């Protein structure tokens, strides 16, 4: 056990030898995090864990009486990095608390690790299969799921045109996962929530080709699919008893002789026609199919999540996820859940007039906004709204600006963050 490094908490200040208002002090094999009650405790602990991760420590054990569940979780988030995970002994906990914290850690580290996989290691069908495996691993005794992966030409048979058109340029087939978690045992039970996730396992931009710097991180463009899978898994682990259906809309957006092109018009299952003006605005094209499928199944509430726009990242950076909806109750629910789970979301504007800013001369709508100075995240939501029968109620859209970190900072390691999983999972219990 000599390689175990001990970490405790204190509300007393550090000796001035460690610097003015030092966050950390050290003794042999032991660090103390010195907390300031006037500042957010969660962020202080996460920041301290990042610093300790930078020391190359192999294993941490949390000791002392000041560690509550949230502060233990904060440390786990900060100590994680993509190469080694987070090897932490959470310390003395009741068995039920340890089980809950361990399940949360395993699920969210699955999300982070899956986002971090390179595109060669994660084709669309494999992403769907991995999602099924994760959900199966957390099912309570006696509960099963049904899962259907619709891939390749079968998408055309089901008339899911958006996923098919975006993914047809790749040799690895696009697909949709429809996973039904129904713990009620009643085949006619209503679907309380539909979760619709963008699963673009690599986004070159298509013929609207991205520059190398922007393309290099596009393994993370399936962050919506991973986040929603993790959210459902975490809810199940925490005792969810509602019927929820998960729809993952997965494809590689590549260039080839068979890739879709600018000027193409896609006719969707609901009759809406879309002119493709930018093949790098592909996420909304695949999500449209998932929204249609969710409504065919009469889901009561729809939550979609996607790494959808650069505009959202420009607005809030990578510390926040963005929420867009005309349903005030759902926005309030998302905001409350995020606060309770120590995650950050920010509401971006989404109004009826945005629906008029995606006009096309050759189809019902275009897949990007028309004119100058338009709000990119808001008009992306407006595009999705065209595939929701009543976009003013029972639908909320997450633009996941905070799901991936390009480089280390004071709170997060580089790569997938799992940020948003807890918020959406919490919403499923409302």
* Exposed / middle / buried, residue 153 (Cβ in 10 Å: 0-12, 13-18, 19+): exposed
What is the radius of gyration, based on Cα positions, of the chain? 22
CA separation for the pair 110, 134 (Å, rounded): 8
CA separation for the pair 217, 117 (Å, rounded): 11
Closest CA to 401 of 325, 346, 342: 346
SS (H, E, C) the chain: CCCEEEEEEECCCCCHHHCCCCCEEEECCEEEEECCCCCCHHHHHHHHHHHHHCCCCCEEEECCCCCCHHHHHHHHHHHCECCCECCEECCCCCHHHHHHHHHHHHHHHHHHHHHHCCHHHCCHHHHHHHHHHHHHHCCCCCCCEEEEEEECHHHHHCCCHHHHHHHCCCCCCCEEEEEEECCCCCCCCCCCEEEEEEEEEEECCCCCCCCHHHHCCHHHHHHHHHHHHHHHHHHHHCCCCCCEEEEEEEEEECCCCCCCCCCCEEECCCCCEEECCCCCCCHHHHHHHHHHHHHHCCCCEEEEEECCCHHHHHHHCCCCEEEECCCHHHHHHHHHHHHHCCCCEEECCCCHHHHHCCCCCCCCEECCCCCCCCCHHHHHHHHHHCCCCCCCCCEEEEECCCCEECCCCCCCCCEECCCCHHHHHHHCCC
CA separation for the pair 227, 220 (Å, rounded): 11
Active-site annotation, residues = 210, 284
CA distances for 319 relative to 60, 304, 327, 342, 345, angstroms: 26, 19, 24, 12, 9
CA separation for the pair 274, 166 (Å, rounded): 13
């Amino acid at each position: 056990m000599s390689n175990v490094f001990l970490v405790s908490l204190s509300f007393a200040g550090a000796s001035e030898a460690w610097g003015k208002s030092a966050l950390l002090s050290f003794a042999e094999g032991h660090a103390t995090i010195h907390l300031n009650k006037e500042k957010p405790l969660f962020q202080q602990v996460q920041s301290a864990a990042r610093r300790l991760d930078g020391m190359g420590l192999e294993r941490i054990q949390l000791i002392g009486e000041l560690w509550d569940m949230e502060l233990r979780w904060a440390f786990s988030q900060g100590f994680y990095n993509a190469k080694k995970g987070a090897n932490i002994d959470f310390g003395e906990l009741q068995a039920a608390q340890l089980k809950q914290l361990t399940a949360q850690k395993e699920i969210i580290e699955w999300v982070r690790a899956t986002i971090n996989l390179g595109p060669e290691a994660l084709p669309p069908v494999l992403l769907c299969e991995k999602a099924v495996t994760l959900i199966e691993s957390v099912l309570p005794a006696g509960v099963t799921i049904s899962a259907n992966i619709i891939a390749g030409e079968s998408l055309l048979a089901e008339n899911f045109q958006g996923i098919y058109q975006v993914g047809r340029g790749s040799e690895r087939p696009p697909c949709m996962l429809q996973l039904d978690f129904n713990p009620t045992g009643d085949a006619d039970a209503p679907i309380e929530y539909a979760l619709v996730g963008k699963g673009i396992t690599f986004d070159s931009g298509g013929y609207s080709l991205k520059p190398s710097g922007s393309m290099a991180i596009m393994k993370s463009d399936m962050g919506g699919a991973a986040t929603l899978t993790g959210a459902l898994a975490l809810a199940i682990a925490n005792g969810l008893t509602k019927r929820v259906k998960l729809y993952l809309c997965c494809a590689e957006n590549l260039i080839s002789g068979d890739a879709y092109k600018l000027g193409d018009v896609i006719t969707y299952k609901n009759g809406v026609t879309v002119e493709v003006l930018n093949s790098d605005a592909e996420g909304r094209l695949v999500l449209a199919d998932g929204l249609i499928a969710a409504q065919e199944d009469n889901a009561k509430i729809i939550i979609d999540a996607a790494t959808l726009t650069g505009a959202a990242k420009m607005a809030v950076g990578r510390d926040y996820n963005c929420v867009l909806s005309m349903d005030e109750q759902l926005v309030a629910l998302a905001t409350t859940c995020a606060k309770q789970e120590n995650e950050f979301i920010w509401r971006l504007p989404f109004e009826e007039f945005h629906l008029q800013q995606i006009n096309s001369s050759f189809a019902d709508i275009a897949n990007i906004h028309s004119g100058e100075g338009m709000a990119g995240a808001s008009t992306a939501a407006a595009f999705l709204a065209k595939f929701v029968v009543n976009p003013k109620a029972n639908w909320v859209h997450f633009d996941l600006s905070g799901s991936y970190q390009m480089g280390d900072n004071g709170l997060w390691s580089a790569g997938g963050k799992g940020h948003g999983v807890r918020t959406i999972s919490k919403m499923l219990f409302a």
